């Protein structure tokens, strides 16, 4: 039995629930959008300008998924042209703390992981290595 009280929750449905959430928040852009909206309400164009490299299509897709999941709200103002603003919902704000902890873990552990990868690759030169 695992020493972690909640590990059974991970295995409970064969991992389906956690895989679904991790697929959503673990993509290339979701956490960047969430972090950018932390404490702010902003228009689409401003959001896109603050996230270097994200295309209009990917930002549209990402905010739609986040809105569908209840993590971001979209407010349309009846103006000409229409003004649309996005902000985190209460549920979306709960993602900030674990996301920051994961980011801190990644920064703290990345040098050691890269060293392990280099060591492994040199010891297994013919093995197929996943791309980083």
Predicted local confidence at residue 128, as pLDDT = 77
Q: What is the pTM of this model?
A: 0.76
Q: Note the pLDDT tens digit of each residue in 19-41.
A: 888 888 888 899 999 999 999 99
Predicted local confidence at residue 74, as pLDDT = 96
* HEC letters along 4-53: CCCHHHHHCCCCHHHHHHHHHHCCCCHHHHHHHHCCCCEEHHHHHHHCCC
Mean pLDDT of 55-61: 96
Does residue 37 contact residue 87 with C-beta atoms inside 8 Å?
Answer: yes
Predicted local confidence at residue 132, as pLDDT = 55
Strands across the sheet containing 83-88 = 42-43, 83-88, 72-77
Mean pLDDT of 77-88: 92
Does residue 69 contact residue 24 with C-beta atoms inside 8 Å?
Answer: yes
Look-up of token digits 């295309």 = 55
């Amino acid at each position: 039995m695992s020493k972690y009280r909640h590990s059974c929750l991970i295995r409970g449905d064969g991992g389906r629930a956690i895989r679904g959430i991790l697929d959503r928040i673990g993509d290339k852009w979701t956490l960047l959008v969430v972090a950018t909206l932390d404490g702010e309400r902003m228009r689409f164009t401003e959001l896109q300008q603050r996230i270097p490299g994200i295309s209009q299509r990917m930002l549209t897709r990402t905010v739609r998924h986040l809105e569908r999941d209840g993590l971001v709200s979209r407010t349309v103002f009846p103006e000409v042209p229409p003004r649309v603003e996005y902000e985190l919902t209460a549920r979306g704000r709960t993602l900030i703390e674990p996301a920051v902890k994961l980011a801190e873990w990644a920064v703290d552990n990345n040098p050691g992981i890269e060293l392990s990868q280099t060591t492994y690759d040199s010891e297994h030169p013919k093995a197929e290595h996943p791309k980083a």
